[in-house]
Chains A and B, each alone.
Chain A
Amino acid sequence: MRDTGPLDLAAASLTPPDATPLLAIEGLTVAFDGVPALRGIDLTIHAGEAHGLVGESGCGKSVTLLAALGLLPRSATVQGSVRLDGRELLGAPAAVLDDIRGGRVAMIFQDPASALNPVHRVGAQVTEALRLHRGLDGAAARAEARRLFDLVGIPDPTRRLDAYPHELSGGQNQRVMIAMALAGEPDLLIADEPTTALDATIQAQILDLLRKVQRETGMALILISHDLGVIADVCARVAVMYAGRIVEHGTAEALFATPLHPYTRGLLGALPDMDGPRRRLAAIEGSVPEPWAMPAGCAFAPRCGLAVAACRADPPPALLPHQGADDAEISAHLAACHRADPDIRTRAERLADPAPPVPPSRGTAVSQGV
């Protein structure tokens, strides 16, 4: 459907590492009334990839994308650079942003019922998007809306076009939102906690749908979630955020198999298991620091069992690939932690040894350009 190839390894390996990324966020900072919310985000999204952004409430995962699309209120001070296909979005004129939002970049949110207009039929809301972004009208728009409803698995799509949001369930409304997002044929879909308000079996359906439409349309997907399981289910690459920074970044496989940052390890340890013996959960003591009282060194140091003096004094190193690692997957697995370095080295050495084969990564293993 689109010129970007389907999401598979062959296509990914053909992507030259220096190809212009679809979305490049560099040094993005956001402050609300002088209180920092984002403290320097670097993130690269390539065409066709599924990228996860995970973290707890207040870590800045939603603010990152809202800032990138110019959707924050005026009280926010946004600095840095956000480029879509090399074109700067920060400070871009409203007309340019209006064209991009809902067109090349679409977004869906946690609560579909409040994102939809309650007094308009859902079909009319989808055809409005088709008119704005594709110039379709009348019967053509209605036929296309019907096709989109069919694509997102709404049963009896012709009749559902005339339904109001309150006549549909939460899961169906989220499907309508996805149909509306697809109406502009986006190159990038940002899904912010798309299944958090849904029941388990409906969540499974929507995650399946997101995977399917991403595969079929070849668009890139940024999935924002607090749920590591949801991220693991859909994304090939993952960034973990804490207190306004990315603290770890890597392929989903590497990150869940060998988490490097103590915070990521803490999050995984805090999740109960579905099988095996029950163990006491490894809770992360304390709570996230308030944005106006950030610790001097690493923001996680006060809660970190591995913290040393350096962690309390100096901010952790930027997310840099391990020196000398030439394996794409290793150089793409990064952690901003004073104590994580030795782990990266051990892992690099272990993987450099040809004896234990590197497990094939699922999804894309695009080497990271930063």
Chain B
Amino acid sequence: MTDPDLLALDGVARVYAARRGLFGGADPVRAVDSVTLSVPPARTVGIVGESGCGKSTLGRLALGLERPDAGSVRFADAPMPRIGSAAWRRLRARMQLVFQDPLGALDRRLPVATQVAEPLEIHRIGSPADRADRVADLLRAVGLRPDHGTRYPHELSGGQRQRAVLARALATDPALLVADEPISALDVSIQAQVVNMLGDLQAARGIAMLFISHDLKVVRQVSHHVAVMYLGRIMEQGDPDAIFADPIHPYTQALVSAVPVAGPRRRPRIVLEGEPPNPARRPAGCPFHPRCPIAVSDCQVIVPELQPMPDGRHVACLRAAISPGAARIAA
């Protein structure tokens, strides 16, 4: 089998047991439910959704930090090794994780250069003499000066800290970077710097990225492919330009229309009723049906599968399965 994808998730599910109160029994919470997704080398796949939709759990499954309860995760055409095994440890160098809070990800008692050098020491990359040069190169690659390496995390600004975290993530020259809300804690002007830098790094180093964010504008900017998640399932996936310009799934329609635009609003806003349900009390049928303005009775019983649309994207909606236009919410 020739699989060009670097990362392939096939029907992956992750179920947690959530306890009811102090002495209550356990409710199964399907944080991620039958997700099939692949990331080709040197491409970015964006995952969007609101809190609790399972996007961060998906990132941890992709990295092999959690074992799926169903389905399989393959990396570089091989099954994910058992967690904690030697092969799994070696794989850590090839995939890296960056998340929202750079101050939490850095050790505030160590200078930045020491922390950037740490992965090199752990994975025994280069001689100790080479490592100082490599650290300086890494800092330059993320737009820091080598002398920033002598500083402690609190002496850097938020944007500089996230650059330092990225330099450390790049130290082992990974093939895959999972970025979980990497710019959400940064100011707008700094966000743009980091977004541009991620694009440059991908072009220069051929890194594949799984970019997880609640910010649709940023995901559209960086992604080659996008998946919209709701309550652990993918509702719509495909080309970001197509999905954000003309969303088909009613949830994507509402999500896109909710993006605040600086300037005149081009499309009417769809304000959804209610809130995403507790993942422990997932509704029967389509998980979105209680909030869906166009739900029909079948939506309460049938769980829609992702179906291909004429333009190549996939949508999990019974109404859209009849025709893409049938899922349109009249504004």
Residues of A participating in the B interface, judged by any CB pair closer than 8 Å: 56-57, 155, 169, 171-172, 199-205, 207-208, 226-233, 253, 256-257, 266-275, 278, 280-285, 287-288
Q: Can you list, as one digit per residue, whether each of B57-84 has a CB less than 8 Å from chain A (1) or not (0)?
A: 0000000000000000000000000000
List of A residues within 8 angstroms of B24 by Cβ: none
Q: What is the total of A-B residue contacts with beta carbons within 8 Å?
A: 121
Residues of B participating in the A interface, judged by any CB pair closer than 8 Å: 50-51, 157, 159-160, 187-193, 195-196, 199, 214, 216-218, 220-221, 241, 244-245, 254-266, 269, 271-272, 274-276
Beyond A199-B214, A229-B262, is A274–B256 a contact (Cβ under 8 Å)? Answer: yes
Q: Is the CB of B50 within 8 A of A271?
A: no
Q: Is the CB of B157 within 8 A of A287?
A: yes
List of B residues within 8 angstroms of A226 by Cβ: 187-188
- Complex CA distance for A117 and B217, rounded to whole angstroms: 36
Q: Is the CB of B271 within 8 A of A205?
A: yes
Q: Is the CB of B188 within 8 A of A271?
A: yes
Q: Is the CB of A274 within 8 A of B220?
A: yes
Beyond A204-B271, A208-B271, A278-B220, is A56–B187 a contact (Cβ under 8 Å)? Answer: yes
Pick the contact of B195: A203, A230, A281, A285 (CB < 8 A): A281
List of B residues within 8 angstroms of A287 by Cβ: 157, 159-160, 190
Beyond A200-B50, A233-B265, A272-B220, is A56–B189 a contact (Cβ under 8 Å)? Answer: yes
List of A residues within 8 angstroms of B272 by Cβ: 201, 204-205
- Complex CA distance for A287 and B191, rounded to whole angstroms: 11
Pick the contact of B258: A204, A278, A285 (CB < 8 A): A204
Q: Is the CB of B244 within 8 A of A274?
A: yes
- Complex CA distance for A149 and B241, rounded to whole angstroms: 40
- Complex CA distance for A204 and B216, rounded to whole angstroms: 14
A sample of 17 cross-chain residue pairs with beta-carbon separation below 8 angstroms, ordered by A number, consists of A200-B258, A201-B271, A201-B276, A203-B260, A204-B272, A205-B271, A226-B188, A233-B261, A269-B192, A270-B191, A271-B217, A272-B220, A274-B244, A281-B195, A281-B221, A283-B193, A283-B196
List of B residues within 8 angstroms of A273 by Cβ: 217, 220
Q: Is the CB of B254 within 8 A of A256?
A: no
Pick the contact of A201: B188, B220, B254 (CB < 8 A): B254
Smallest CB-CB separation from A268: which chain B residue?
B262
- A-B complex: 6 closest residue pairs judged by Cβ atoms: A229-B260, A270-B192, A228-B262, A283-B192, A199-B50, A272-B221
Smallest CB-CB separation from B143: which chain A residue?
A285
CB distance from B15 to the nearest CB of A (A): 23
Q: Is the CB of A201 within 8 A of B50?
A: yes
List of A residues within 8 angstroms of B261 by Cβ: 229, 232-233, 274
Q: Is the CB of A203 within 8 A of B220?
A: no
Smallest CB-CB separation from A203: which chain B residue?
B258
Q: Is the CB of A200 within 8 A of B216?
A: yes
Smallest CB-CB separation from A169: which chain B residue?
B275
